[in-house]
Amino acid sequence: MVKRFPQWRRDDAAHTPRHAVDGVRARRRLLSLLLALILAAPLAGLTGRAAYAADLAPAGASVGGQSVAGMTRDEVAAVVTSQAADTTVSVTVAGQTIEIPLEQAGGSIDAVALADALIDGADLTDSTAPHFVNNAGGGSAASVDADAVAALADRIDARVGTPAVNASIQPTADGDAFEVVDGSPGRGVDRDSLTELVETATLTVTSQSIELPLEDVVPAVSDKAAEQAAAAADALIAPAVTLTGAGKTIEADAATRASWVGTTVIDGELVPVLLKESVAAWVDQAAAGIELDPISAIDNVDADGDLLEPARPAQAGLEVTNRSAVTDAIITSLDAHQPYTGELATQEVAADTEQRVVSSGTDRFAYTAAPGEKWVDINLTDSTITAYEGYEQVHGPILMNHGGPGNETITGTYQVYLSYEKQDLGCTAGWSYCQKDVHWVTYWHGNYAIHSAPWAKHFGVGADAGSHGCINLPEEEAHWYYDWAETGTVVVSHY
């Protein structure tokens, strides 16, 4: 059984009169009101501190003349952003006024950081405050980029004055050393006054203007400083630089090394420096001289994809793998005034195999041959030479080099008419070259011959246009054709 109690009021239970209860309640409300007033009284004169405690801008806080008192950080930052966008720097010189946005003048304001500083009680009129530094990138709320201020001064000088010209250095006519290019004084505005103007605009987030006179301006880099820089640059390029790779040696002459040098100005001193991009460009050029694209093999196939005969052999390519490391090593050595000798490391690049669909009949050949007839196919498109007996390949195809622009290999059907085991090529009046003791020379028309080319490091597409019209082959291949192609053997040259 659940026991239920009657519902009754405390004043009823205590038999307290109704008017007495009401009086107690009134006294309690009055006491609560008095307590609230007592607690509020100490805060009445500490409005700023109360706002700070609440993470709000304190009383009297303002940005660019606009009050931000009582605003949140985000609200203050929004005001700072708006004011900074409207802030300008105006400079009047010789009756001409140049006005540009603060940011272009070099003033930089971090709205969030400046809002934090204001809420922390910062005074924007104090240039020694922790939130302000006189250089860009300092991580403070307000900063000034000295280079941007200098650029503004140069712009003003160019418009209304005469810019001073810094002394500089340049390679000599021979390119193997450096010489001084004299500087000259000018007339312009005072840099310190301009910097102070931009600082004030940045710190207070208010537009600033000033009238400045033209003054004599000396070059930031003197002739003496340039003389010292020229001597330093000469020392920088003095050591030799040599690269080897794939059997080749590449040297950077003094003029090339001089082209790697640039200069920078540090505290009025002209300092020669090695330009990494220039050194890298030379290394790339050296690498390109030994690199080869792979030559894909070509197989002649019929319409069903069945192999008829190989048309061109594959040849692996070659690529340099340490360009960046070599570039850095050259710079390190020259900076230490030490010569550099290094190797361009290479690796092979695999070649693919392509299929070329051709006729399955004898019409795919460049020559109509009798059964067993010897003939030589010179394919200038594939850069190959192949020996046939009838329509059977007996040697090749072999990669070869043919004539280049202005010395193109003739096309047509000809016959071997003369052979020499060894002969000097060119070496007479009217010829622009001379190769002594060239072996296995097989003439098939006029001065056109098949012969060895020991000077050639590579054969085939990409290296092929290197002769004066003859067919250049490796030594052993030229020897084979010399022995096989007797007088009267047909030679067909075609694209």
pLDDT in tens for each of the 495 residues of the chain?
Answer: 322 323 323 333 333 333 333 443 433 333 333 333 333 333 333 334 444 445 899 998 899 889 999 999 999 999 999 999 999 999 999 999 999 999 999 999 999 999 988 888 877 766 555 555 555 444 578 899 999 999 999 999 999 999 999 999 999 999 999 999 999 999 999 999 999 999 999 989 999 999 999 999 999 899 999 999 999 999 999 999 999 998 899 999 999 999 999 999 888 799 999 999 999 999 999 999 999 999 999 999 999 999 999 999 999 999 999 999 999 999 999 999 999 999 999 999 999 999 999 999 999 999 999 999 999 999 999 999 999 999 999 999 999 999 988 889 999 999 999 999 999 987 777 777 788 999 999 999 999 999 999 988 889 987 666 788 999 999 999 999 999 999 999 999 999
What pLDDT, on a 0 to 100 scale, did the predictor assign at position 26? Answer: 37
Residue 465's pLDDT is 67
Bridge pairing between strands 186-188 and 215-217: antiparallel
Give kind and range of the element (H or E) at residue 263.
strand 261-266
Q: What is the pLDDT of residue 428?
A: 78
Q: Which fold has domain 368-494?
A: L,D-transpeptidase catalytic domain-like (2.40.440)
Q: Are 331 and 282 in contact (CB under 8 A)?
A: no
Architecture of domain 222-364: Roll (3.10)
The residue behind tokens 């009445």 is: 44
Rounded to 5°, angle at Cα 269 from 265 and 275:
45
Cα dist from 115 to 46, 88, 209, whole Å: 21, 20, 25
Is 339:241 a contact under the CB 8 Å cutoff?
yes
* CB contact at 8 A, 228 and 243: no
- Per-domain residue ranges for the chain? 222-364, 368-494
Q: How many CA atoms lie within 13 A of 358 on its CB side?
A: 19
Give, in degrees to the nearest 5, the angle at Cα 79 between 76 and 83. 140
* Amino acid in the structure at residue 361: G
Element (H, E) at 421: strand 418-426
Alpha carbons 45 and 226: distance in angstroms, whole number: 65
> Per the omega criterion (within 30 degrees of 0), is the bond before 397 cis?
yes
CA distance 385 to 353: 18
CB-based contacts of 8, cutoff 8 Å, min separation 6: none
Amino acid sitting at position 179? E
- What's the token pair of residue 185? 């004084």
CA–CA separation, 138 and 131 (whole Å): 10
